[in-house]
Amino acid sequence: MKLMPEQFKLPRLLSPLLCVLLCIASHCAYADDAEERAKLERIKKAMAELKAELEATKSSRDELLKTLEGSEKNIGDLNQKANQLKKELDERQQNLKGMREERSQLQGKKREQQAQVGQHINAAYRLGQQSSVRLILNQQDPTTVARNMKYYNYIIEARADKIDDFATTIARINTLEPEIAYQAEKLESNHRELSRKKEQLVSAQQQRKSTLGKLNKNISTQGQELKAMQRDRSRLETLLNEVAEWLNEIDIPRSSSDSFASAKGKLPWPAAGKVVKHFGTSRVANKMRWQGMLIRSNSGSPVSAVHYGRIVFSDYLRGHGLLIIVDHGGGYMSLYAHNQALYKELGEWVDRGEVIASVGNTGGLQSSALYFELRYQGQPTNPKTWFRPA
């Protein structure tokens, strides 16, 4: 992936464009404030035209990466939904199995209770031929009378309990029937939905495979252009440094005690997070090295200027996404890439710690991070030695 400044590749129109700007600058070194503001407006217009050209030419790899990311996210979502559906399906199957077993047991219990209730009904009919009063009056022995009354009440209570149990069983069976029907219907619906998700998953995986094939072909082509890209990078860096020097001609007083060089070891970190790629470590099969550091951070987190300076670039750059470059004077520049949003424009002055952007993943990153690079006299330098202890 072409993510960092060592892989800048701008349209060839950039060189003559900035050369023209430099020529204009050389004739305006002593211009007054009105002329300086006019120069800045011309730069902004030129940058707008350059942006249009960049957007017109940036397509294949960025679009493929975007398509790949979309495919992989879609695959992840489909897998998650399919797994959830499978869990629901298994749970419904167990619930349905339990309900059917309960219904079978209740139906057996219902038959037994029905027989018992029938017996109680017959007994109640026979007992009903004699009232409780007659049972009492026909007995001469008080002990026998008490025993018969107790037996009579027991029969009545037992008969009521059996009838209640039978009614409860019938009610539960009547409740189970629609529940079983509902669970069976939902189970069938889950089966259909799971089948659809699997079909969508196969389609998404095929799309991802196709996109990866195109990306691999694209990478092969870019590998053949590695030396040409390095030459383009060198020319571009030279031009950007010259533009930064020209912008410094628009004089804004600053304290000598606030120089960038005097801030070594005291600079604030540009964003909170963990450094996952360090300056000087190898990349691209050891053919290149990281010229800055990659700081993994949460999406939308603030990106702050590490020192007082002026914005000399604030726009989208292929492979770097939304990029801000700050000129700090004395030959020092800082670069902030892959931002989610840019809050400062070309020509604006910023203070140390001032928020200039937010962390994102533009330019092809798979996850949110800030790429930070520090340059002195156009050459990358290890930024870690400049930061104050975390």
What pLDDT sits at residue 36? 65
Distance CA 288, CA 159 (A): 93
Two tokens at 347? 């020509």
> Would the pTM of this model clear 0.75, i.e. be above it?
no
pLDDT tens-digit series, residues 99-130: 778 777 777 777 776 676 666 666 655 655 45
Parallel/antiparallel/unpaired status of strands 302-304 and 355-359: antiparallel
Low pLDDT (below 50) residues in the chain? 1-18, 20-31, 54-55, 57-59, 72, 129, 131-133, 136-137, 140-141, 145, 221-222, 224-225, 227-229, 231-232, 235-236, 252-253, 256
